Amino acid sequence: MGIKCNKKPVITVVAVIWCIFQLYIGFFGVLAPMEQRPVHVAFALILTYLTKPISKKLDPEKLYIDQIVAVLLSVVFAVYMYTHAMELSLNIGMYTQFEVILAAIVLILVIEACRRLTGVGLIAIGIVFLIYAYVGPYMPNAIRHPGASLTKIFTFSALTTESIFGTCIDCCVTFIFLFVLYAKLLEKTGGGQVFIDVACSLVGHVRGGPAKVAVVASGLFGSISGSAVANVVGTGTFTIPLMKKIGYKAEFAGAVEAVASSGGQFMPPIMGASAFLIAEIVGIPYWTVAACAAVPAILYYLAVFFVVDFEAGKTGLTGMNKAELPRTRDVLKKGWPSLVSPVVLIVLLAGLQWSPAKAAVWSIAVAFVICMIHKDTRMNLHQIIDTLREGAVGALETTVACAAVGIVVGSITLTGLALKLSSLLITASGGNLVILMVLTMIACVIMGMGLPTVACYVVLASMVAPALIKMDVVPIAAHLFIFYFGIISAITPPVALASMVGAGIAKADFVKTSLNALKLGLAAFILPFMFVMNPALILQGNVLEVLQCIFTAIIGILSMSITLQGFFLEKTPIWQRVIFGVAAITLIIPETITDIIGLAIFIVAVLLQVATRKKKKAALA
């Protein structure tokens, strides 16, 4: 029996205190790891249990006994670990009976909170790994290990910096939370609408304008939002009706938004804050990650841009009336307050090489000061508190998922599974890199269907990336490969969450929308193979190699888009599409000779299109 009560004030107070705590950490960063990380997780657990009852069938407005108990236990473990951080760090392996029980409670709290927020997918994986850590001596030879006692599993998971309170939560504490808060502040001060208006002013009037607005706006907004679904909702509610209005089919409109929104997480500079996590795990500077991801991200959006343009050309669709669109100058004049802080963020990260945490808090400060100065974006106290609350609640899924992923990572560390799994994968692939990449792709897409992007990446970075690196794949290429396919799962059936939301907004059939998204996003399935086989595509090589690779990749993607849509200068007959398809395949293969052959075939195909167009014009004359 639940108690009917107004939980919002309590949720608001907890959320605001959490935000203040995180901003303090960002500015000063003075707490030890075992002080700040458990407190961060405790805030997330308290908010999760306050907002999510044990079952979706229960009234979320009521407060149930299990929620009260979970909140109290979260407070107890946070206070104890904060006040005993030094002892826990120095006395590893020498724990009291109370600490062992506390560790078991923390483990249960994290698992149950993750179930309430993300479903059973991630916790099922975590529980399997915990069981594996316990039954190691009874496993097959290939993955056998000495095993660990329950006490060892509990304490290693919840009282050290190797598992729940490991690298993933460290990234949440130091910068992911801050970037989520920054994105919410930017959204609340009109940043999302400014991105849409900029996109409208630039490409709204051209052929298939609304679809191109979706591509541009989703790329801009998606980099900051860090969620494909949130991006679809944020920009799709505006762009999808516009696409339908000028004549795009509902399922195509929903698919365009789903594909464009999914790619936002791969778009520098922020990459949904994942760039910082990748940098932390790979051990390279953040800006190196952003630079490496830039070319594949641009190629991804270029491919979507080509496809929507050719679809518009094939079906005779026009752009929006230019007189009804905002002028770029007017948009920038009115919306400049929302654009200053992103520019500041890029300058701090790229120009001054500041740490992500420091850059994030100063960008938040700049965004807040400017919005308060400018009368059109000025917020009152109630709006400021709402922004802090929504920012904290928006960070829940990522924080709790990262804590749960820590259980998996901790079990892998405890058992030494990573090395065993790498050997198994290499054996299963027969030492063939392409087969290994296909196996990795399948694993990423399947896991990405049930896990948040960050969680999917961290799990597979621990399990699969070592195998790719053993096969002489450049480390950053291996990690971007995994990250990329984790993102693409948002448009991959049968789950395809981004496609599902896009179909809902478009009032279209989900299956048709999902299949259209697969077609639109075909380049996304090819690009990771391209930059693994030819690292020049992620700027790993000399200038000439990089330029050649980028040029041939653009022509290859153009050829593939023509093949898919059956349109270039004119509608392409089947035999011409085959020629463009052959050109695309040869240009994708990372060899100079195939590049030359592919370019020659492409030129022939273009000349045939020109001849077809001239013949058509002559017939009409």
pLDDT reading at 302 higher than 70: yes
The verdict on whether omega for the bond into residue 326 sits within 30 degrees of 0, i.e. cis, is no
State the first-to-last Cα distance of the chain, in angstroms, to the nearest integer: 81
pLDDT reading at 252 higher than 70: yes
Distance CA 198, CA 201 (A): 5
pLDDT at 305 (0 to 100): 84
Q: How confident is the model at residue 605 (pLDDT cuts 50, 70, 90)?
A: confident
pLDDT reading at 47 higher than 90: yes
Provide the phi-psi class of 298: left if phi over 0, else alpha when psi is between -120 and 50, else beta. alpha
Highest mean pLDDT among 101-115, 220-234, 235-249, 384-398: 101-115
How confident is the model over 574-590, as pLDDT tens digits?
A: 888 889 889 888 988 87
Lowest mean pLDDT among 67-76, 389-398, 439-448: 439-448
Q: Could you tell me if 18 and 43 are in contact, meaning their C-beta atoms sit under 8 angstroms apart?
A: yes
Q: How confident is the model at residue 78 (pLDDT cuts 50, 70, 90)?
A: very high
pLDDT reading at 619 higher than 70: no
Mean pLDDT across the stretch 309-338?
A: 76
pLDDT at 30 (0 to 100): 75
pLDDT reading at 226 higher than 70: no
Q: Could you tell me if 449 and 495 are in contact, meaning their C-beta atoms sit under 8 angstroms apart?
A: yes
Mean pLDDT across the stretch 541-566?
A: 87
Mean pLDDT across the stretch 400-428?
A: 84
DSSP string, 399-442: HHHHHHHHHHHHHHHHHTHHHHHHHHHHHHTTT-HHHHHHHHHH
pLDDT at 172 (0 to 100): 85
Mean of per-residue pLDDT scores for the chain: 84
pLDDT at 360 (0 to 100): 84
Provide the phi-psi class of 328: left if phi over 0, else alpha when psi is between -120 and 50, else beta. alpha
pLDDT at 115 (0 to 100): 92
Mean pLDDT across the stretch 440-469?
A: 79
Closest C-alpha to 521, from 301, 247, 239, 292: 301
Distance CA 332, CA 205 (A): 18
How many CB atoms sit inside 10 A of residue 138's CB?
Answer: 8
Half-sphere exposure of 43 (CA within 13 A, CB side): 30
How many CB atoms sit inside 10 A of residue 58's CB?
Answer: 14
Distance CA 148, CA 75 (A): 29
Q: What torsion do the CA atoms of 300, 301, 303, 308 make, to the nearest 10 degrees?
A: 150
Mean pLDDT across the stretch 192-199?
A: 74
**CA-based Rg of the chain, rounded to a whole angstrom?**
25
pLDDT reading at 218 higher than 90: no
Question: What amino acid occupies position 148?
Answer: A
The verdict on whether omega for the bond into residue 53 sits within 30 degrees of 0, i.e. cis, is no
pLDDT reading at 41 higher than 80: yes
Mean pLDDT across the stretch 440-458?
A: 76
Question: What amino acid occupies position 334?
Answer: K
Distance CA 522, CA 531 (A): 15
pLDDT reading at 46 higher than 90: yes
pTM of the complete model: 0.81
pLDDT reading at 366 higher than 80: yes
Q: Which residues contact 384 (CB under 8 A, 6 or more apart)?
A: none
Q: Could you tell me if 417 and 463 are in contact, meaning their C-beta atoms sit under 8 angstroms apart?
A: yes
Mean pLDDT across the stretch 455-484?
A: 86
Highest mean pLDDT among 188-202, 302-316, 387-401: 387-401
Distance CA 154, CA 160 (A): 10
Q: Could you tell me if 251 and 503 are in contact, meaning their C-beta atoms sit under 8 angstroms apart?
A: yes
pLDDT at 110 (0 to 100): 95
pLDDT reading at 620 higher than 70: no
pLDDT at 99 (0 to 100): 93
Question: In b/e form, how buried is each residue of 305-318, taking b as 16+ CB within 10 angstroms?
Answer: bbbbbbbbbbeebe
Distance CA 73, CA 366 (A): 37
Distance CA 292, CA 274 (A): 13
Distance CA 73, CA 52 (A): 16
Q: ∠558-548-603 over CA atoms, to 5°?
A: 45
How many CB atoms sit inside 10 A of residue 439's CB?
Answer: 16
pLDDT reading at 272 higher than 70: no
For residue 62, the surrounding DSSP H or E stretch is: strand 62-63
**φ, ψ at 567 (rounded to 5°):** -155, 140
DSSP code at position 278: H
How many CB atoms sit inside 10 A of residue 134's CB?
Answer: 16
Distance CA 592, CA 585 (A): 13
3-state secondary structure (DSSP) of residue 375: coil
DSSP string, 537-604: GGT-S-HHHHHHHHHHHHHHHHHHHHHHHTBSSSBPPHHHHHHHHHHHHHHHS--HHHHHHHHHHHHH
Mean pLDDT across the stretch 546-554?
A: 89
How many CB atoms sit inside 10 A of residue 46's CB?
Answer: 26
Distance CA 461, CA 412 (A): 11
Distance CA 184, CA 501 (A): 20
pLDDT reading at 528 higher than 80: yes
Distance CA 203, CA 216 (A): 8
pLDDT reading at 450 higher than 70: no
pLDDT reading at 149 higher than 80: yes
pLDDT reading at 391 higher than 70: yes
pLDDT at 595 (0 to 100): 86
SS3 content of the chain, % helix, strand, coil (to 5): 80, 0, 20
